[in-house]
Amino acid sequence: MPSRAVSLRNRPVGMPTPDDFQVLEVDVPDPGDGEVLVENVCMSVDPYMRGRMWDRKSYVPPFQVGETLTGGAIGRVVKSNDPGLPEGEHVESRFGWREAFVAPAAELRRIGELEAPASAYLGVLGMPGMTAYAGLLEVGALQDGETVFVSGAAGAVGSAVGQIARIRGCTVIGSAGGPEKAAHLTEDLGFDHAIDYREGNLLARLREAAPDGIDVYFDNVGGEHLQAAIMCMRPNGRIPLCGAISQYNATSPVPGPNNLSMAIGLGLTLRGFIVSNFNHLRADFVRDMTAWVKSGELRYRETVFEGIDRAAEAFIGLFTGVNTGKMIVNLEA
List contacts with a second copy (CB under 8 A).
51, 58-60, 222, 226, 235, 241-244, 247, 253-274, 277
Rounded to whole angstroms, how far apart are CA atoms 192 and 153?
12
Nearer to a second copy, 31 or 240 (CB): 240
Nearer to a second copy, 31 or 47 (CB): 47
CB of 161 to a second copy, least distance (A): 15
| C-beta separation of 86 from 78 below 8 A | no
CA 211 to chain CA mean position, Å? 29
Nearer to a second copy, 184 or 238 (CB): 238
Neighbours of 174 (CB within 10 A): 31
The H or E element that residue 204 is part of is helix 202-209
Identity of residue 216:
V
CB of 295 to a second copy, least distance (A): 32
* Three-class secondary structure of residue 38 per DSSP: strand
CB of 99 to a second copy, least distance (A): 30
Rounded to whole angstroms, how far apart are CA atoms 148 and 142?
9
Nearer to a second copy, 168 or 273 (CB): 273
CB of 241 to a second copy, least distance (A): 5
Nearer to a second copy, 247 or 290 (CB): 247
CB of 71 to a second copy, least distance (A): 16
CB of 208 to a second copy, least distance (A): 18
CB of 38 to a second copy, least distance (A): 29
| C-beta separation of 240 from 129 below 8 A | no
The H or E element that residue 180 is part of is helix 179-187
Quote the Cα angle for 174-225-268, to 5°.
Answer: 95
Nearer to a second copy, 136 or 298 (CB): 136
Nearer to a second copy, 10 or 277 (CB): 277
Give the phi and the psi of residue 132 in degrees, each rounded to 5.
Answer: -65, -45
Rounded to whole angstroms, how far apart are CA atoms 331 and 333?
6
Quote the Cα angle for 239-240-246, to 5°.
Answer: 95
Alpha-carbon Rg of the chain, whole angstroms?
Answer: 20
CB of 303 to a second copy, least distance (A): 24
Give the phi and the psi of residue 7 in degrees, each rounded to 5.
Answer: -135, 170
> Quick one: which of 104, 53, 114, 112 has its CA closest to 81?
104
Nearer to a second copy, 259 or 290 (CB): 259
